[in-house]
Amino acid sequence: MTLILGFQDYLPQAEKLALCLSIPIKQVDLHQFPDGETKVTLPEKLPKQIIICRSLNQPNDKLIELIITASAARNQGVEYITLVAPYLCYMRQDKAFSTGEAISQKIVGKLLSEYFDSVITIDPHLHRIKNLTDAIPNTAAITLHATDAITSFLQSKFQQPVIIGPDEESEQWVKAIAAPHQWQYTIATKQRYSDTEVNVSFSDADSPEHTKLNLTAQDIIIVDDIASTGKTLEEAVIQIKKQNPNSISIIVTHAFFVDSALQHLNRLGVNNIWSSDSIPHSSNAFSIINTVAIQLNKHGTK
């Protein structure tokens, strides 16, 4: 029998996964010492296989706690540990953009590979590498997608929405979401100047499909994997509003919406802002846990 280990900050999702897989769940207890260190207490009598379910947003403390948990589990005789981290941290820093910058993706990936036999995540931010196994070597590293869950969710809300991706990277998700229903879609081009300065444009010659699409009076859905500062989405909304659509909704897989990102988007008159439960957030509207459960059910919990 496999056991799920959950943590307080991601417990509803871990419990849902346990329910979907019909396996038990127990909680890892964390105690913060006054100096910032963490005491990690595992349940006793762990089975040979466990699944640790915790998303890796705000990752620095969590990574240490997961490593301590995995090591302590091995000391109890656990032989196979799967990490289910719907949001996988440090995947964006996949090259040294200037001299001296650490390639965090490789470093964190190697660290995870030393402690986990298998890592399952949802739409990690992989741009310069194709496969998650390139980032997390010698591990069963599995990438799942939120697109099916997004399509089902949107289908319950709209008849014929127009799906928009704010940058070239979003094309993979936009196409997968639009294709099953032949919804129209288009992809913008984005230039990022800094963490908070981006330019999103629909008029680029490389994006001829946009010119064919009339957004006036349409229900527009902007799709992205991550909303962090929200600037990408803000710029897309500003451009789209010029065409007087009927409504503008935003749907993302991983919702950070740092600082006042959500307020800025609301102030622009965005009708809906939805996200998956990969990261707990007030915008969570649909779950990706079923997607994880289907994978684990199909291939076994080992």
Which residues of the chain form contacts with ligand R5P (CB under 6 A)? 167, 169-170, 198, 224-232
Q: Is the distance from CB of 224 to CB of 166 less than 8 angstroms?
A: yes
In the chain, which ranges are continuous DSSP H helix? 11-21, 59-75, 104-115, 132-135, 147-155, 171-178, 208-212, 231-241, 261-267, 289-299
Least separation in angstroms between residue 150's CB and ligand R5P is 14
Least separation in angstroms between residue 128's CB and ligand R5P is 12
Dihedral sign computed on CA atoms, order 284, 289, 291, 292: positive
The tokens describing 129, both together, are 């590498």
Residue among 101, 7, 15 nearest 56 (CA): 7
The tokens describing 184, both together, are 């129209």
Comparison of 82 and 229: residue with beta carbon closer to ligand R5P: 229
Q: Is the distance from CB of 211 to CB of 219 less than 8 angstroms?
A: no
Least separation in angstroms between residue 186's CB and ligand R5P is 16
Q: Is the distance from CB of 138 to CB of 124 less than 8 angstroms?
A: no
Least separation in angstroms between residue 87's CB and ligand R5P is 12
Strands laid side by side in the 2-6 sheet: 25-27, 2-6, 49-53, 80-84, 118-122, 140-144
Distance CA 17, CA 92 (A): 27
Comparison of 3 and 265: residue with beta carbon closer to ligand R5P: 265
Q: Is the distance from CB of 72 to CB of 42 less than 8 angstroms?
A: yes
Comparison of 116 and 167: residue with beta carbon closer to ligand R5P: 167
Least separation in angstroms between residue 260's CB and ligand R5P is 12
Comparison of 94 and 224: residue with beta carbon closer to ligand R5P: 224
Comparison of 65 and 169: residue with beta carbon closer to ligand R5P: 169
Least separation in angstroms between residue 167's CB and ligand R5P is 6
Distance CA 238, CA 221 (A): 14
Comparison of 232 and 276: residue with beta carbon closer to ligand R5P: 232
Comparison of 225 and 277: residue with beta carbon closer to ligand R5P: 225
Least separation in angstroms between residue 251's CB and ligand R5P is 13
Distance CA 142, CA 124 (A): 10
